A and B are shown apart, each in its own frame.
Chain A
Amino acid sequence: MNLIFLAPFFLLGLAALAIPIVVHLTNRPRDRAIRFPSLMFIRQVPHRSVQRQRIEHWFLLLLRAGAVALLVTAFARPLLEGSGSLLLPDDERRELVILLDRSFSMGYGDTWERALAAARSRIQRMSQGDRGSLIAFGSQPVLLVAPTEDEAALLSALEQVTVSAQVTRYGPALEAAAEIISQSDRPHREVVLISDFQRTGWVEQSETSLPPGAAFEPVDVSGASPSDYNVAVAGVTVERVRRGSRDWWSVGARLVNGSDAAAPDLTVTLRVEGQEIESRPVTLGPREATAVRFQDVAATDRPSRIEVAVGPDPLAADNRHYAIANAPASIPVLLIGHPQARPQELIFLERALALGSDPRFELRRRSFERVAPSDLDGIRVVIANDVPFPEGVGGRRLGEFVRRGGGLLAILGRRSDPASWAGAESILPGRPGMPVDRASDHGARLASLDYDHPVLEIFRSPHSGDFSAARIFRYRALELLPEAAVLASYDDGGVALAERRSGGGSVIVWTSALDNFWTDFPVHPVFLPFLHQAVRYLARYRPPRVSYRVGSVADLRQYFAEDEGIEEVVVEGPSGNREVRNLAEGEYGVQLEEAGVYQVRRVNSQQSPIALIAVNVDPEESDLSRIDPDEIVRAVTVAATGASGELGPQSLTDLAPEARERRQRLWWYLLLGALVLLAAESVMARRYGSRRG
């Protein structure tokens, strides 16, 4: 067994052995002169002067010289050489993790082909006994092949991978690789990252780091040159406007050049339902953005696909932006009134609901005496305006309607007989009581409102609605039930607005009338938005989105009500992939992974789709600015190399940490020996020093 040194130049430090010898010979007495008040008596005594050039404390000198020698030798990193190769361990099997970036920016030119070739090359270089795994990643990593020694399986999986519509995120992919590496017992562990190294994909705060000893090899396959450009449609706006007697779609688009080169000779095109409406030339300077507004398109009452395309450029994925021009939504509302009610008692309610445009309120009227179960078909919200609770089948049906997701707004006036409403106690927030007259003290005021509730949330900010101006001269007492939530109270503590949720729906009770007799609330500005918001809330109305980003989840409930009786739908992706969603089992979410337009249809139906969902790539990925791969190398291998980073990533592949430590363990003992000698030196020096005084 031979002894060699990894850093032999440190052995030059052995010259430092001369220092303690010189110190012992020359510096000993002079530096330790004893200051004494007077040499008067010493001078009187005849004595011999001390001979300086002689070493007195040989033991101390040996301790010091030994400590220096051991320190120098330790820094020279001695290595015990065995019979076999010194640097390579006996077990040379590798653990290889290939991280393949498949974000949509990899579709730039022939970048993807080069990435596949690089991955293929790494797989084919695997030796017998090596283990490999393949992770494709965009915003999220997907383990395509778990660690295996089967090279064919890796190559086969590689052929199946395609560019996704996701953005780049290196952090999660590196974490997945680190997990595989940390669980591996192989002495050689290596991570290969194949990517175009977009700066937007690297979050500097990421604390991802590979386990110590793992090698990290970045493979840069980006093909963009400084003169190449990339433009993208960053967003599309669709507004429904009315001109004359017709509705029109007004479409605008925002174009961005995310590169440092000018993008000349571009064409931007608007298509509606696949039909080209308008094309126009456009030019974008480096890092420039512009807005384009197209000519108006005649609106229809069906959802329409809007597509804005720009190009040409080497990266096609971000050249198209999709949006859905939705038909105006409407909320069917059943207004139950009293046959004896005068027109002026209903005028505020009816006029307010007639003003709704987005969504519109489809108002149907019924007398409380004639409410039939069929009246509730297709209805989303029922307003019981100053009436007794409907009796018989209609009343029972109303209870079921609420529990199945419908909304009920109960307005308690002078005709709201408490006895009749007692029958609806299972859905009401409280028991209506006798009227409370506040006319004598100028009316009650709304003193406390729960602005966290969705109905009142829009009035939260200052100057967005003054409820305190309204006067309520008379209201019905409401004895709250435990399930109720109070949304508003009068200044005397009486309940003004309360809600109770029953099953899938809810009931809101307003304890005064809306007729300008019991209260002047309807003539105040806050009345209209309040009523609209209450009806939207009770109808659980959510405006359909124009478009989504890739990676989002769309909630199918916004496209149709749960009570429409649709149990299963088929969601067809832009690439034609179909997926059945069982709504009856609550499968309302759709993961949107492709850019384009998703179609939602009834199962086994050839009719037009019941919903269209537009999905677009994230424009952040269109910025092709690169990050230096070494930056990522430094970040992920810092734990392995230490702060100095002296060891390059390739050198780390040579030995597993355990093997490397085993071979170099000697320097620890040398360092320990040096410390022991220094401690002994300290004790001895102190002893000599104290003797000397």
Chain B
Amino acid sequence: MRASTFLDPVVLARIDDLSLVARTVVDGFINGLHRSPYLGRSMDFAEHRAYMPGDDIRRIDWRVYGRSDRFFVKEFEADTNANFTVILDVSRSMDYSSGGLTKLDYGRYLAASLIYFSRQQRDRVGFVAFDSEIRVLIPPSAKHLELILHAIDSLTPGEAGSLSGPLFRVAEGVRRRSILLLISDLYEEPENVVRAAGRLKGKGNDVIVFQVLDPAEISFPFQDPADFQDLETGERLAVKPAELAERYRSAMRDHLAAVSRSLLENRIDYCLFDTSRPLDFALFEYLSRRERLSRVR
């Protein structure tokens, strides 16, 4: 797939309808693959059952007919009955943008696209939004796609965020083995992140963590002295960025490396996104994680 086919998040931001954004991302992605939209559908034989009027005659097993002189149709078992839940961080720190999309908007598009994509694969989809508390909780269901898209569309930035409390409550509510995708900027110490994500993994769930950051948070391009104000706490610091930029970048790199290492050590998939990356990348990342998880399983 050529890079030029990727969908610019800023362009997508001009589309008001979230479901349309999700469809645009996913359908474009699928077309780019030139593969069946029912990707991952299993062809494993499950059982025979008696033919009933209305059944596709192509599915009649003629060998059985030859043997038994009765019509039987073959049924296949699909492996796409998994629960898929996106857990989106909507804390105030996600409401940041240095020019393009805010992290929250990027996360919303990401969540919508992945949920739409999963639903295309017959997964049951659920959604959780949280800051320091759970703001939205929609349990996984095959019928919740529109509800989730509407909930995502209505999201607004919350208050200061915290991973552990909300994620623990999510983990307690998971009744069935699920794929849990956490989208957050992970502004916590690496051990806190791992503890919270590890709790999700507790019931045999597959956990994927997507960390979303703005490019400015990573590169810290500021030069002139100014007050820096914490979005979540409102705290202000008068600083000279030119003097601390390099050390900031180093601290950020260390933090990202620690988070990544800790999660992978705990068999939790992790991927870092900056909001300038096309959303299609997220689908690739997700798909590759699923393929890998299915092989492991």
Which residues of A approach B to under 8 Å, CB–CB?
Answer: 29-30, 32-45, 47-50, 52, 56, 688, 691-693
Contact = CB atoms under 8 A, between A and B. Distances in A.
Contact of A39 (B221, B224, B235): B235
B223 interface: yes
A41 B96 contact: no
Given A35-B96, A45-B247, A49-B239, A693 B223 contact: yes
Interface string B224-238: 111111111101111
B224 A692 contact: yes
Nearest to B235: A39
Given A33-B227, A35-B229, A41-B252, A693 B222 contact: yes
Given A39-B237, A56-B225, 12 more contacts: A29-B225, A33-B228, A33-B236, A34-B222, A36-B230, A37-B217, A38-B93, A47-B243, A48-B239, A50-B239, A691-B224, A693-B216
A101 B224 CA distance: 77
27 contacts: A29-B225, A29-B238, A32-B226, A33-B228, A33-B236, A34-B227, A34-B228, A36-B230, A37-B185, A37-B231, A37-B232, A38-B93, A39-B230, A39-B237, A40-B187, A41-B248, A42-B248, A43-B237, A45-B247, A45-B248, A45-B251, A49-B237, A50-B226, A52-B238, A688-B224, A691-B224, A692-B222
Contact of A29 (B96, B223, B227, B243): B227
A47 B229 contact: no
Contacts of B103: 37
Contacts of A691: 223-224
Contact of B238 (A43, A45, A49): A49
Nearest to A30: B227
Nearest to B243: A47
A39 B233 CA distance: 9
Interface in B86-106: 93-94, 96, 98, 103
Given A35-B96, A37-B94, A43-B237, A29 B255 contact: no
- Give the most central of B217, B222, B227, B235: most A CB within 10 Å: B227
Contacts of B240: 47-48, 50
B214 interface: yes
B278 to A, nearest CB: 22
A572 to B, nearest CB: 91
B64 interface: no
B15 interface: no
A48 B243 contact: yes
A56 B238 CA distance: 15
Contacts of A30: 227
A33 B231 contact: no
Interface in B36-92: none
A33 B226 contact: yes
B113 to A, nearest CB: 23
A35 B232 CA distance: 10
Contacts of B247: 45
Nearest to B103: A37
B187 A37 contact: yes
B interface: dominant SS: mixed
A46 to B, nearest CB: 8
Contacts of B98: 693
Contacts of B226: 29, 32-34, 50, 692-693
B244 interface: yes
A34 B239 CA distance: 10
B227 A32 contact: yes
Interface string B23-41: 0000000000000000000
A604 B216 CA distance: 113
Given A43-B237, A49-B238, A36 B231 contact: yes
Rank and list the top 5 A-B pairs by shortest CB-CB distance, nearest first: A692-B224, A33-B227, A37-B93, A50-B225, A37-B96
A37 B185 CA distance: 9
A693 B248 CA distance: 17
A33 B226 CA distance: 6
Contacts of B255: 41
B214 A37 contact: yes
A21 to B, nearest CB: 19
Contacts of B224: 688, 691-693
A41 B247 CA distance: 9
B251 A41 contact: yes
A30 B237 CA distance: 10
A47 B187 CA distance: 21
Contacts of A32: 226-227
A48 B243 CA distance: 8
Contacts of B237: 39, 42-43, 49
A457 to B, nearest CB: 69
Contact of A693 (B221, B233, B243): B221
A267 to B, nearest CB: 90
Nearest to A688: B224
A563 to B, nearest CB: 90
A37 to B, nearest CB: 4
A692 B216 CA distance: 13
A692 B251 CA distance: 22
Contacts of A44: 251
Contacts of A688: 224
Interface string B179-197: 0000001010000000000
Contact of B230 (A29, A38, A45): A38
A34 B228 CA distance: 5
